[in-house]
Chain A
């Protein structure tokens, strides 16, 4: 087992809802509500969930853009919440982020080369600046004459490459990728995923990969965490999660994805979840998933399940009635 790079301990991020003339806090949006996980060096952890499950808030909290309500974030064994501004400045060199929307995350008035050079300047590494930038551009598959171009002259995929080059500029240890391919076309998406995989191999990077697309997550991740309403529902290595999903929510998510196989697709038994995502400001009591869960009982309404390791080592699930053995179930069918 390699050593942990990032540890998240019971992390909570609640946003106050203010109402009335005096802007009194009437309630909280519990965007992230008690999340635990460890990210080891060199691995890719995928976080997957529907919109509003708190996956982006989680990312923003880890890079220090938001101050969590409670819990702890340990980076290389040190709590980053205790850091002063100087230490935070150093931390941001080691933890970089790539954003979802390549159209708004680049300054439209800056040239591609200057965008990639910006982090280097911020950390006083201006020696051989142009050489380093050109190196980075080559690394992500941009041409040298792209240096002087403005963001609008690039396509979506190329812009995402600029964003990746910018994140790589300071040799970070951890890169947080928040839906890096969801705004891209299928053929371009494959290019960016392949690039990310190559870079990881070449530079030994650690990725926290956030996406709503389960197929992309499976492709790129070593381990996967499934989030729902600010909580981690299931977490395991990706092999085990996709073959033996134990949480009813994961199972429903997997069955909701249309496969590009018409024959299989038409035969497949689909679990269609009833209803919609409840509001995170007023999450259901007990297990947050009980309102949509096909197996929920009275017990689930009153008691909160914890993320426990089952018989499978390393396969954590937060459910009172996890699906025990899917293979057996298949055999019966």
Chain B
């Protein structure tokens, strides 16, 4: 349904060109949930905004690639045609529910606006639909809440309203950019549950972007791991979490404090900072921080290669080599612990 082919989204800045998205390809099929995970600055939001064509141009430009939605390349469409797709076929919810709603309009008006932009119908009917949507996203007393202003809603409730607006036109794809980052855990659990329920009811595909590996594990069927503008590993959730084959994904999982871990073992240090995207490192972008990097990694930029039917990895190490390297490292760690005792 949606196919992104070798997409590059670069941003012009006074200091040079930031390669925010640098050659990303993936496919989204109807009804599936794809998770995009990465640290801040890995390009996941720019990628999401590219699909919606929401990046301001200039400074953003797309030197290469295609975004095909139902066969049409979104990069070449006129603004007028894009508007028909935005909100109607592809809808988006944003991270910050506090600033995504207009504070001077009633929630009901904002919801009806979304409906009336894409459908010609009498206002009374749009109102009915709006109330229905609010009910769907679990807002109690929707008739009354239609007349409330955003500041009268809590963060979780506002995120529900945004989901309602996104659902207004029965989109085929819902892009959720860090939908729960600004919320408390108990509210996050509510919103994630809601997103699953509406997906069952409306049957759209969801692209969920998060830095939280837990959220991704819970929601997604397929996962793309991004690092400095590229996909470094993609596959089914099981592949990513159990057959992790890219050192970056592996380190990320090891650096996370676990709530279910028995021992208070030391977290893995990923040395250094995410790279500067104006002057990315030579070879593999992760090599300066990679515990397993070799001389080769400084020279050769690995491509995404197939490991199993759905699992792709961008790393020079083969599966056997990676396993061996992991084993060696764990041995060294254990010895270190013994010395410490």
Tell me the A residues contacting B by CB distance below 8 Å. Answer: 50-51, 155, 157, 185-191, 193-194, 197, 212-216, 218-220, 242, 252-263, 265-266, 270, 272-273, 276-277
Given A194-B267, A258-B215, A259-B217, does the pair A51, B257 have CB atoms closer than 8 Å? Answer: no
Beta-carbon contacts under 8 Å, B237-275 to A: 237-238, 241-242, 251-253, 255-261, 264, 266-271, 273-274
Instruction: Decide if A185 touches B156 in the complex (CB within 8 Å).
Output: no
Closest B residue to A157 by beta carbon equals: B273
Instruction: Decide if B190 touches A272 in the complex (CB within 8 Å).
Output: yes
Q: Which residues of A contact B188 (CB under 8 A)?
A: 256, 258
Docked CA distance A242–B193 (Å): 23
Q: Does B319 contact A (CB under 8 A)?
A: no
Instruction: Decide if B184 touches A262 in the complex (CB within 8 Å).
Output: no
**Contacting chain A: which of B6-14, B165-173, B206-214?**
B206-214
Q: Can you list 13 pairs linking A and B with CB atoms under 8 Å apart?
A: A185-B274, A190-B255, A190-B270, A194-B269, A219-B264, A242-B259, A256-B189, A257-B214, A258-B212, A258-B217, A259-B218, A260-B256, A277-B184
Q: Which residues of B contact A193 (CB under 8 A)?
A: 257, 267
Q: Which residues of A contact B267 (CB under 8 A)?
A: 190, 193-194, 219
User: Given contacts A155-B273, A216-B257, A277-B154, could you give 14 more A-B pairs where the C-beta distance is less than 8 Å?
Assistant: A50-B187, A187-B289, A190-B257, A193-B257, A214-B185, A215-B257, A218-B258, A218-B259, A253-B186, A259-B214, A270-B193, A272-B193, A276-B156, A276-B157
Q: Does B39 contact A (CB under 8 A)?
A: yes
Question: Which interface class (under 10, 10 to 19, 20 to 34, 35 or more) fits B?
Answer: 35 or more
Q: Which residues of B contact A270 (CB under 8 A)?
A: 189, 193
Q: Which residues of B contact A256 (CB under 8 A)?
A: 185-186, 188-189
Instruction: Decide if A219 touches B193 in the complex (CB within 8 Å).
Output: no
Given A259-B217, A260-B214, does the pair A214, B251 have CB atoms closer than 8 Å? Answer: no
Q: Does B282 contact A (CB under 8 A)?
A: no
Instruction: Decide if B186 touches A252 in the complex (CB within 8 Å).
Output: yes
Given A187-B251, A190-B267, A219-B267, does the pair A273, B259 have CB atoms closer than 8 Å? Answer: no
Q: Which residues of B contact A263 (CB under 8 A)?
A: 238, 242
Docked CA distance A220–B216 (Å): 24
Q: Does B332 contact A (CB under 8 A)?
A: no
| Min distance, Cβ B277 to any Cβ of chain A, angstroms | 14
